[in-house]
Amino acid sequence: MRPPSSLKQEFLKKWITGLQRCSSSKRNMSILERTKAIKLSADVAMASARNSTTCWSRALIANASKDGSDGKHLVEQILGLESERLMMKKASTGALVCNKRIRSKKILKRSCRIPRTRKCVPQVALATSIAKRMVRKRTQVLKSLIPGGEFMNEVSLIEETLDYIISLRVQVDVMRGLAGVSELVNHN
């Protein structure tokens, strides 16, 4: 079981590594570039701190290390080449398997839906269908928020949001701490 501070420390170390990599490459970066670099390295560091145990971390790293973006070098730096390859393999197979599963589930649902007939009171049916529609809309929005969320079913989506919220909080805390300290140092 990992103590909480070690998660923060791990994230911080990986993040600083990534930032050093960024700063060594270019000299005069505009503020936007720097923002993006900081955010990217923070995200990748957070995802790698999960060690590919969660779907969102794999999806995040997969998105970051797409060919043609400078994220790839960053990911290599933070993760190390070997683990990056492992993670890419896991991410691709995971997505494929999830897609197949989702497709087969949809086919199954469609086939089961046809013979079933339900007799419901119209008002009750209306209320429940409205509620279901609302929930479905919101789950779609949530899927768009969580990295790699489109491939998950409802159960794993909720688990992924749990994990994602926790890691986001850790990330925000660490970043805020660093920002505060560095601002204080600069003012002195």
Q: Which of residues 119-158 bind another protein (CB under 8 A)?
A: 131, 134-135, 138-139, 141-142, 145-146, 152-156, 158
Q: Do residues 72 and 65 touch, judged by C-beta distance below 8 A?
A: yes
Please give the Cα distance from 70 to 56 (Å, whole number).
20
Q: Report, in Å, the least distance between residue 1 CB and another protein.
A: 5
Q: Tell me the CA distances in angstroms from 99 to 151, 181, 187, one per residue in order.
A: 6, 45, 52
167 counts as binding another protein under rule CB under 8 A: yes
Question: Positive or negative, the Cα torsion across 48, 89, 83, 68?
Answer: negative
- Whichever of 45 and 79 has its CB closer to another protein, that residue is 45
Q: Which of 101, 120, 126, 127 binds another protein (CB under 8 A)?
A: 101
Considering only residues 27 to 46 of the shown chain, the ones binding another protein according to CB under 8 A are 27, 29, 31, 34-39, 42-43
Nearest to another protein of 76, 163 (CB atom): 163
Spatial contact of 80 and 46, defined as CB atoms under 8 Å apart: no
Quickly tell me which residue has 């999960």 as its tokens. 50
Q: Any contact of residue 181 with another protein (CB under 8 A)?
A: yes
CB of 97 to another protein, least distance (A): 7
Q: Which residue's CB is nearer to another protein, number 85 or number 93?
A: 93
Closest CB to another protein among 81 and 131?
Answer: 131
- Asked if 174 and 12 touch (Cβ cutoff 8 Å), the reply is yes
Read off the amino acid at residue 78: I
